[in-house]
Chains A and B, each alone.
Chain A
Amino acid sequence: MQIELNKKQANLKIEIREYLQDLLTHELLKELQNPSYFEGGGPEFRKALLRMGNDGWIGLSWPKSLGGKEFSPIEQYIFVEEIMRTGFPFPFLTTESVGPMIANYGSDFAKENIAKRILTGELIFAIGYSEPNAGTDLASLTTRADKSPKGWMINGQKIWTSLANFADYVWLAARTNQGAKKHKGISMFIVPTDDPGFSCHPIHTLGDVRTNTTHYDNIEISDDFLVGEIDEGWSLITSQLNLERLALVNHGPVEELYLNLLLQAKETQLQNGMRLANVPWVQDAFAKIYYKLEALKLICWKQVWSQGNNNFSMTDASVAKVYGSEYFIEAYRMMMEIFGELSLFKSNQELTILNGKLERMYRTASILTFGGGTNEVQKDIIAMAGLFLPRSN
């Protein structure tokens, strides 16, 4: 038993932290304050991504044979943790999820012209799964890919296609067999966003994060853009979502926020001479944030440790996702209670707390309880696969 990072992992953490400090230039940080670039896509973001590719910090989970670093799951987790602490919108889904699948299951063309360019930081993907009538019930999606003389003709509509406004490609799930059972007739495609048949419309959200509806109107692509076997896309979707769930609830960002707020509370002297951090109920609130955060960290650590021992558990992924997403909401609430009305001010103002970071984070918190597989479905998975209860209807 060793419930801590080993020396190599601790050193990696320091190495990544130092690298990121250098990467996050003043210009980049300024760009990331602009709501249009909260999720990346700006010129400084692109520049930083190219630099990361050049410095070998993309493709950490990829096999060395494909140009990756072959990091262990724990090392990958540390990387995600450190980068999320900085607030840099690193495109994890492109680099650590879609990229390896293209490298493994894509055509020779896609391996050479797309996967390699993901590694160099040149390309970004958006994920095209959800549709207006296919959210939690994703397998009922109706976007279709029909055989055409040149390959495939794509038609349909997706919703919540985040990053599509600046992505180079969409990782698209489309129905290729209208007669098959709904999980069976889906295939995965790489769809270029510069095709004239592609269009993208913004959906602005509570958390100031832009997402999109995307439309696919007679987009014709060759077989080179099909990934994996025809009609066998469902397994690629579910394995991608399982990987995504852990990254969504990485403990790094909330721990970073907690530590900064704790420091601020220790430094804030009230008029009566007492420090904010010494007010009894404030101490109680910090204790609750801390002990629940410890559990989240351990859930995540245990999961990546299990993965490293080839013992990935779907139940563990669901536990992490439900616990983490619900904890974030609770933690942000307690943090706002500690700082009271000051926590309601937006950024770039004199009295704001951490330049409005907390104010913004509470607005984005709910997305994780339904995004990446709604928590009710995760609880069904836990009941079935963890407790071996009968399957619910």
Chain B
Amino acid sequence: MDFTNIEGYTDIQHSLDALYSKKNIDFSSSAISNGLLDELKKAGFVDIFNSDADIHPLNLLSLIFKQAGYQGINLDLYSFFIDIPLIYKASDKSNHDFLRDHLSLNSLITSAFREPYQHVEEGLQTRGVKESNGYTITGNKYFIENFHQAKLLILSFQTNEGIKLALIDKNRISYQEQITTTGLMVSQITFEEFHISQECILHIDSPLDLINEIDLSQKLIRSMFIEGVSKRMMEMTAKYTAERKQFDRPIATFQAVSHRASSMFIDHECLSLVNQQALFSLINNKPEKENHVLAAKAWSADVSHRSSYSAQHLHGGMGVSKEYDLWKYCLLAKEHEIMHDSAAVCITNLGKNITLNQ
């Protein structure tokens, strides 16, 4: 048994911290428009899929996102770093050598996988009807990252023959912009009898397995992000309560305050451990990987919620003032708590898995 894994990569952590802690990063702007993706590329983090690297890509991604969470960076690169590389890995590369252009930032690709009410629906609701040379698509996709900067879009849809993924030219699609609770802009697309030619379909052996792998990876990396957010909220709270005096003493010396801060610490420890277990299971393709990831996302959603409100409460008015950085962490915590399934959904799905002996 060895728990040193992620914590062993201190050089990488320091390098990421230096990159993220630059003062000119606008909280609500995309990581592409504020130059962060370029910086990550310059520092070598975009080459994580190089097979010669001595760290597993998921391990490195965990660090990239966890440290972003710790530094309060709104890193909208989940599609960039997770969806597109996993699709490439699973697809017939001879036909679609798109990853190289994507990672060179010359021809960015984004993905349209999320759908409204996906948390209570089984399977994909975007449908593709087969025609002589392709499919006609009807459905609704949202939370599409960096759509306006992408050149291509990968779309998932359900057909009578199973799930299909298509690579399509972004310019063919009209979209709407939506602003999320963190102030980030994402896009929404409504497909109404939208035609896709057969040439656009990606050749993938098992699209359902791929979609599941993407979903598990998204959940895990978002949980890692939350781990960074909750760690920072805990540290800010510890510092503030140790310094803030009321009744002529630091408020941390009141037992009610120190106990609530201690609960944040316990929460963070639990989250860190279930995250590490989920990462280990996913990297090693363990049979329990789905349950471990669901447990990690359920924990991270709970910790997001509890740490955010504990931190705000123990800071008093400072906790909600935009003159102090905690507010950014609270918004990031809520967005990641709900994205890719809340605790309620993860626990429900975990319950189904357990009772079905998965």
Contacts and interface: CB of A to CB of B under 8 A. Distances in A.
A369 B143 contact: no
B29 to A, nearest CB: 16
A137 interface: yes
Nearest to A207: B320
B236 to A, nearest CB: 14
A369 B320 contact: no
Contact of B330 (A206, A276, A371): A206
A313 interface: no
B168 interface: no
A336 interface: yes
Nearest to B140: A351
Interface residues of A, number: 52
B309 interface: yes
A135 B241 CA distance: 13
Contacts of B339: 341, 344
A59 to B, nearest CB: 30
Interface in B106-133: 114, 116-122, 125
Interface in A65-87: none
Interface string B293-324: 00000000000010001001100110111110
A205 B316 contact: no
Given A366-B319, A369-B309, A336 B342 contact: yes
Nearest to B349: A281
B313 A375 contact: yes
A368 B334 CA distance: 18
A279 B120 contact: yes
A276 B320 contact: no
B297 to A, nearest CB: 13
A272 B122 contact: yes
Interface string B148-162: 000000000000000
Nearest to A205: B320
B30 interface: no
Contacts of A376: 254, 256-257
B21 interface: no
Contacts of B122: 272
Contacts of A207: 320
A379 B256 contact: yes
A29 B265 CA distance: 44
Interface residues of B, number: 48
A271 B121 contact: yes
Contacts of A336: 334, 338, 342
Most buried by A among B181, B245, B256, B327: B181
Interface stretch (B31-39, B76-84, B172-180, B213-221): B172-180
Contacts of A279: 120
B142 interface: yes
B313 A340 contact: no
Contact of A285 (B125, B316, B319, B344): B344
B107 to A, nearest CB: 28
B47 interface: no
Interface string A358-393: 010011011101110011100100000000000000
B180 A369 contact: no
Nearest to B246: A137
Interface string A322-347: 00000001000110111011111110
B354 to A, nearest CB: 15
A159 interface: yes
A342 B335 CA distance: 11
Most buried by B among A130, A160, A343, A370: A370
B181 A350 contact: no
Contacts of A148: none
Contacts of B176: 350
A346 B117 contact: no
A340 B319 CA distance: 25
B289 to A, nearest CB: 23
B331 to A, nearest CB: 7
A268 B246 CA distance: 50
A204 interface: yes
Contacts of B118: 340-341
Contacts of B317: 130, 135, 159-160, 203, 211, 370-371
Contacts of B334: 336, 344, 362
Given A203-B322, A272-B122, A136 B335 contact: no
Most buried by A among B120, B247, B316, B331: B120
A349 interface: yes
Contacts of A369: 309, 312-313
A238 interface: no
Given A271-B121, A367-B320, A351 B178 contact: yes
16 contacts: A137-B247, A140-B246, A207-B320, A268-B117, A334-B344, A340-B120, A340-B338, A340-B345, A344-B181, A344-B338, A351-B188, A366-B309, A366-B312, A370-B319, A374-B316, A376-B254
Given A135-B316, A136-B247, A272-B122, 8 more contacts: A136-B316, A211-B317, A276-B117, A276-B120, A281-B345, A333-B305, A351-B116, A370-B317
Query: 7 shortest A-B CB distances, which residue pairs?
Result: A340-B119, A366-B312, A137-B246, A337-B342, A337-B344, A206-B320, A376-B256
